[in-house]
Amino acid sequence: MIADVASFSGFRPQLLEFLSELRANNSREWFQAHRAEYDELLLEPSRMFVVAMGERLRTLGDDIHAEPKVHGSIFAINRDTRFSADKTPYKTHLDLWFWQGDGPSRERPGYFLRLTGDRLLLGAGVHSFTDAAVERYRRAVLDDAEGNRLEQAAAAVGSELVGGRTYKRVPAGLPADHSRADWLRHSGLFAELEQAVPQELFGEALPDWCLEHFERVAPLQRWLVDLLPSAD
């Protein structure tokens, strides 16, 4: 076990109540009245967790970023409602993001955690490719060596955990009869595990427990990191 320099001792059970209540009362008035709970239950322990998780993620890569701040590894709770039909002002979950390599953090492959009022999701990858990344990805799928590496990584992770296939059919201009045609229907590539909130969430063992799950999805992450070099 890696020494925990962050003094992370777990999230409090009241955080789940806060997220559930926020879902039921998603308004600026309610949130401002409960801002102290947001700071105490979500923001401060998230900062400590990010530091503790960053120490552990070094075993998966020395270029993984863990920045204990909002707009770093902690996603802002405010929603951008400008182009959304849903005008509720706040997200009702906690999102944490540990991106790998240099470049815009949201364009890099990374490890992620999402906590709702009753579920925990852990995974790795890219949820939405940029135009440049999707072109590189499609070339890799059609390349025998890289395409085989992708299938081997997916098998190592567990194909049932792999997501990102959003197109109903192979996009125009690509070979629909190719042996790996289903991979061409992806607009992103990630692997994730979802479960009920575990007891580990409430104790100091959470970072080590998360690392074990991140290690499971690491083969797909490594394939993506090789595919999308930081210099791009």
What CATH number does residue 199 fall under? 3.30.930
Answer yes or no: is pLDDT of 55 > 70: yes
Tell me whether residue 78 is in a domain: yes
Tell me whether residue 6 is in a domain: no
Smallest Cα–Cα separation from 178: which of 140, 232, 122? 140
pTM of the predicted protein model: 0.94
Q: What is the number of residues in the chain? A: 232
Alpha-carbon torsion angle 16, 53, 198, 216, nearest 10: 140
Contacts of 99 (CB under 8 A, 6+ apart): 64, 65, 105, 106, 108, 109, 110
Smallest Cα–Cα separation from 50: which of 11, 8, 22? 8
Number of structural domains the chain divides into: 1
pLDDT, one tens digit per residue, over 134-146 is: 999 999 999 999 9
**Residue 204 and residue 148 in contact, taking contact as beta carbons nearer than 8 Å:** no
The pLDDT of residue 164 is 98
Distance CA 140, CA 104 (A): 22
**Residue 70 and residue 43 in contact, taking contact as beta carbons nearer than 8 Å:** yes
Which tokens go with 137? Answer: 């990805």
206: containing domain? 14-227
Tell me whether residue 3 is in a domain: no
Tell me whether residue 35 is in a domain: yes
Smallest Cα–Cα separation from 217: which of 148, 130, 114, 125? 125
Whole-number percent of the chain with pLDDT over 70: 97
Answer yes or no: is pLDDT of 1 > 80: no
Mean pLDDT of 186-212: 98
When the pLDDT of each residue in the chain is averaged and rounded to a whole number, the result is: 95
**Residue 217 and residue 125 in contact, taking contact as beta carbons nearer than 8 Å:** yes
Distance CA 137, CA 212 (A): 27
Tell me whether residue 144 is in a domain: yes
Tell me whether residue 7 is in a domain: no
- Residue 185 burial class via C-beta count within 10 angstroms: exposed 0-12, middle 13-18, buried 19 and up: middle
Tell me whether residue 39 is in a domain: yes
**CA–CA distances in Å: residue 107 to residues 53, 57, 96, 172, 209:** 21, 19, 15, 24, 26
Q: Helix 206-227 vs helix 144-157: angle between axes, to the nearest 10 degrees? A: 170
Mean pLDDT of 14-25: 97
The pLDDT of residue 231 is 55
**CA–CA distances in Å: residue 39 to residues 36, 43, 77, 221:** 5, 5, 11, 32
pLDDT, one tens digit per residue, over 72-93 is: 999 999 998 888 888 999 999 9
Backbone φ and ψ for 162, nearest 5 degrees, come out as -85, 130
Which DSSP symbol is given to 198?
A: P
Tell me whether residue 9 is in a domain: no
